[in-house]
Amino acid sequence: MSMQQADTTKYYKILSADFPEWLDEYINTKELQTQKYVSVTCGTIYTDLFSDEDKTFYSSLDHSIAVALIVWHFTHDKKQTLAGLFHDISTPAFKHCVDFLNGDYEKQESTEDLTTTFIKKSSDVMKLLKRDGIKIEEIDDYHIYPIADNDTPQLSADRLEYSLSNAFYIYKQLTLDEIKEIYDDIEIEKNESGEIELGFKTKAIARKFVKVTSTMSVSYRNDKRRYSMQFIADILKRLKDDGKITLEDLYNKKESDIIEIIQNSKYKDVFNSWAKAKTIHVSSTKPEGVYYVKQKVKVRYIDPLFKGERISKVCKIAKAAIDKNLSYSMDKYVYLDFDF
């Protein structure tokens, strides 16, 4: 399967015209560098089920740097920027598939609990923090900074970043020029709770953003993606139960290393059947004799501010896009023609 590494040069330039050079030392630490081997697609890049999506390898490290650049652009605050950079430092191979492995389908936050642990065990990161006079508790939880992260359906740097990068690199919904138009329209506003939040200056641009993100939101949880993420999670669980891998391996090995282990296991044939599949089967009744998936997963959607008000309150088109997204059903059985 042909795959190319994402070229982030022009994209990063949009997010921050001047790259903060002080960030480089943190980016180059071993713990963050392992993130460049984790795809943000949660493993779905490895199957032909998603042949309609681009096979560009956009990594968890690419995402983390971009989040940091967005936070830096809007705050120029080192602590908030580092919180954005480190928010996925504990992301394992196959990303949110491990949340599925942990039974965390609907929040997909189980691996975030290890953020502090990963930072603490990095002597390089801890030395840099000490040198810069920054306490670990000031950067190990990006939830304390509303520009970096907040609750759905608000807009934060994290939610904005994966929306823009997915729309460009994976789904081809936006060009770089359109991303720049959207990004340049964003400002810091006060929301209905009196808290700061990223919002839009222009109604038409906010509406465009909502239409794109609402379409992608369905893709994040459609039948073939729910199936694929649970399938990967179950293979990882069986490899662990068979003593072929440990949970630690998911944090220490590349996705390509784990796939090699799968190819040398009894799950090789089913993995390759999934990898080569072109279409998925969906049924209202429980299928017999095959491996199937039936479950609800996290609903990602954004209802951003436009001049301090939710766009859904002032734009019928945006509200319709959000409502259509939220009405997507996850009640069917999803399967391929094999069992394991």
Residue 306 has pLDDT above 80, yes or no: yes
Q: Which CATH superfamily is domain 4-222+299-326 in?
A: Hypothetical protein af1432 (1.10.3210.10)
Residue 181 has pLDDT above 70, yes or no: yes
Judge contact between 120 and 126, C-beta under 8 A.
Answer: yes
Residue 107 has pLDDT above 70, yes or no: no
Judge contact between 215 and 52, C-beta under 8 A.
Answer: no
What does DSSP assign to residue 257? H
Residue 185 has what pLDDT?
A: 98
Looking from the CA of 34 toward its CB, the CA atoms found within 13 Å total 21
Neighbours of 212 (CB within 10 A): 21
pLDDT band at 282 (very low <50, low <70, confident <90, very high): very high
The backbone region for 260, taken as left when phi is positive above 0, alpha when psi lies in -120 to 50, beta otherwise, is alpha
Q: What is the pLDDT of residues 47-98, one digit of tens each?
A: 999 988 888 999 999 999 999 999 999 999 999 999 999 999 999 999 888 8
- What pairing do the DSSP bridges indicate for beta strands 186-190 and 196-200? antiparallel
State the sign of the Cα–Cα–Cα–Cα dihedral 199, 65, 175, 301.
negative
Q: Domain map of the chain by residue range? A: 4-222+299-326
Residue 105 has pLDDT above 60, yes or no: no
Q: How far is residue 102's CA from residue 121's CA, in Å, rounded to a whole number?
A: 23
* The token pair that represents 289 in the structure block: 């004799």
**CA distance to 71, 100, 101, 309, per residue, from 230 (Å):** 32, 6, 8, 37
What average pLDDT does the segment 226-246 reach? 94
pLDDT band at 114 (very low <50, low <70, confident <90, very high): confident
Q: How far is residue 139's CA from residue 82's CA, in Å, rounded to a whole number?
A: 6
| Ordered DSSP codes for 118-159 | HHHT-HHHHHHHHHTT--GGGTS-GGGSTTT---TTS--HHH
Residue 3 has what pLDDT?
A: 75
Residue 206 has what pLDDT?
A: 98
Q: How far is residue 27's CA from residue 88's CA, in Å, rounded to a whole number?
A: 12
